[in-house]
Amino acid sequence: MSRFGDKIIGVGGFINISSNARCMVFSGTLTAGDLDVGWERGRTIIRQEGRHRKFVPKLERICYSVSMARAKGQTALFVTERAVFTIGEHGLELIEVAPGIDVERDVIAHMGFRPAVSNALKK
């Protein structure tokens, strides 16, 4: 939980829901802070990259455990405007990128770690 003024904000029922669901889908952008993305002629265009990485090697608090999800056989997808990840054998695995997106330049370069890349990567 974290303090916000005089209120305490927590994750609510998220832990209960996420620990019992068969599949979790998380959605958001790969980066944040002044990110400007567009779509032209069926291709994703990153006009301005966000200042803040969301996929980082270490978090202050964990409210969703990939290792616990893997042990339960739970499916999880992490869907961004340019890439889709899932839980792979060795951690986060990149399984799909949007048309117009370069894996190294537009995805991996903006992560705090290198994910596994699927041999069957969809482009």
Residue 115 sits in a domain of what CATH number?
A: 3.40.1080.10
Mark out the alpha helices in 1-123 (DSSP H runs): 14-20, 66-72
Helices (H) and strands (E) in the chain, counts: 2, 11
Whether residue 70 is contained in a domain is answered as yes
Domain that holds residue 113: 22-122
* Domains in the chain, number: 1
Please say whether the beta carbons of 8 and 14 come within 8 A.
no
Whether residue 46 is contained in a domain is answered as yes
The pLDDT tens digits along the chain (123 residues) read 445 555 555 666 787 788 888 999 999 999 999 999 999 999 999 999 999 999 999 888 888 887 888 888 889 999 999 999 998 888 899 999 999 999 999 999 999 999 999 999 999
What's the confidence (pLDDT) of residue 8? Answer: 58
Whether residue 4 is contained in a domain is answered as no
Q: Which helix (H) or strand (E) holds 68?
A: helix 66-72
Whether residue 83 is contained in a domain is answered as yes
Whether residue 94 is contained in a domain is answered as yes
